[in-house]
Amino acid sequence: MQILSFLGFTILVAVISYFKTRKTDESTSDGYFLGGRSLTGVVIAGSLLLTNLSTEQIVGLNGSAYKEGILVMAWETLAAIAMVITALFLLPRYLGGGIATIPTFLEQRYNKTTKAVTSGLFLSGYVVVLLPIVLYSGALAINAMFNVPEMLGVSKNLALWITVFSIGIIGSIYAIFGGLKAVAVSDTINAVGLLIGGLLIPFFGLREIGGGSISEGITTLMTSNPEKFNAIGDTSSSIPFSTIFTGMMLVQLFYWGTNQAIIQRALGAKNLKEGQKGLLLASFIKILGPLIVVVPGIIAFHLFQGSLANPDEAYPKLVTQVLPASLVGFFAAVLFGAILSSFNSALNSSVTLFGIDIYKEFVNKEASEKETVKAGKLFGVFLALLSMFVAPFIANAPDGLFGYLQEVNGCYSIPILTIIVVGYLTKRVPAKAANIAIVLGAILYMISQFVLKPYVFGADNYPHYLHVMAILFVMNIIIMLIIGKLSPRTSDYNQVFTNEVDITPWKHAKTIGAVIILIVVSIYIYFS
């Protein structure tokens, strides 16, 4: 029964995606990389949410909530503010310039060197961090839910290889041969499933706590575990409250406003109105995210009385205990969709970056649209295979590797955000300022986190890495402004509007954005 419901939902998503995308012209760059610039607000919102959510976040963040409580909701609720800023400030400029990738803007604003370095940083991040970890964590989840080693009669290691390649091949078909629109449509369907399935876990969990009554379950959970409902983290927590005003917002703004794997959904919007609707709808739903990725962790803490040695076991164990057996297959299919979404979204973005920013620019400048798309697809196949071969070996890595790699992301996130912000807010800062800032920013962060912190000062006596990001962000901006003052561009930079799509803003965008920010602030006041 579980296998049938799993296969049924998964096949349904594939069939709908095929019929929705079969008429899209994918022989051109816009058609393949940006879905023909035809994505509507609802599709963009669904794709954004599913691209963001995957097994490592659902399991990992609930594990953190099991340990620390509701304060980890900062990763969800503060994302809503970053998405509002992106919708109102960045997206109009992106769509107005008709860009397909963030590095394309950087070339227009600075030069080809800036574009090449940024594309390389994005690709290295996807290859080294995102793709293999998504495959590995996803394979672990599927293997655990269906007990794949026993089902196939193989060892755990062989089962891991089989599941990794199964997920990788299916995700590659979506991303490489379907283009962005196939990814976005499948994401939207899976988003509905994830919202339903994700909300079922706290629903059944609260019912169990409350003896069949959800309201009684909420009351019991909050009165029995008041320490778990304090959103203000102290200096010993993973998210000290002060970091919310420094590096946390910078990380959120980079992720939702400049990360190619995320913003590409909005770049494929049919017009600015639909793009803003998509981002704002996603930001509103994001506020509800803690119900899926935080509350279950607190429920698990209450039910298991903090008995789990490994907090990351909290969510899978809770699902097994509270979810009716008839729904396990459906929920596994939903998780499978989340795994695929993160994998194929990063892969599709990698294909886009390579095809447009590297192949077309440095390999074959005379390449036709069809040749560019073909080169991107071939690169995607290579990248997918590489990540599939790397993923199983993560099992042999030391504990805490994922957290370590997340910290490594700061090597490129803050430098890239810096040059984009300065690029839009100034007109005379030259290309060499950006090139110095992006290289210097990455080097200084690596020295800070991987030399000074462990070997000079010690982890206990060193600032939180989110504070370090904020310090380097300000430092990089100052360096760029000084260079701009001493050696400015010969002429002002003025963005050229290409009229690729209608950039008339949605008339309710600012109002809705203000309401969303007010809701986030109110949540923090309530749980403080």
| pLDDT per residue as tens digits for the range 304-342 | 887 777 777 788 788 878 888 778 777 777 777 777 777
> Rounded to whole angstroms, what are the CA distances from 90 to 6, 207, 383?
39, 43, 29
**Would you call 120 helix, strand, or coil by DSSP?**
helix
C-alpha to C-alpha distance for 187 and 46, rounded to whole angstroms: 6
Output the six-digit token pair for 526: 């309530």
Domains and CATH numbers, the chain: 2-390+498-526 (1.20.1730.10)
Q: What residues contact 84, with CB distance under 8 A and at least 6 apart?
A: 279, 280, 283, 513, 516, 517
Pair 320, 141: CB distance under 8 Å? no
> Based on C-alpha coordinates, what's the Rg of the chain?
23
> Rounded to whole angstroms, what are the CA distances from 440 to 90, 257, 416?
25, 22, 11
C-alpha to C-alpha distance for 220 and 73, rounded to whole angstroms: 21
Q: What is the pLDDT of residues 82-91, one digit of tens each?
A: 999 999 998 9
> Which of 216, 283, 263 lies closest to 100, judged by CA?
263
> Rounded to whole angstroms, what are the CA distances from 251 to 146, 149, 257, 473?
35, 38, 10, 11
pLDDT category of residue 377 using cuts at 50, 70 and 90:
confident
pLDDT averaged over the chain?
82
Quick check: 267 pLDDT over 90?
no
Neighbours of 201 (CB within 10 A): 24
Q: Give the HSE-up count for residue 452: Cα atoms under 13 Å, Cβ half-sphere.
A: 13
Output the six-digit token pair for 442: 């990455």
The more confidently predicted of residues 259 and 485 is: 485
**Would you call 367 helix, strand, or coil by DSSP?**
coil
The more confidently predicted of residues 337 and 112 is: 112
The more confidently predicted of residues 229 and 369 is: 229
Residues 466, 467, 469: CA angle, nearest 5 degrees: 65
Q: What residues contact 304, with CB distance under 8 A and at least 6 apart?
A: 314, 317
Output the six-digit token pair for 421: 């912000």
C-alpha distance across the termini of the chain, in Å: 45
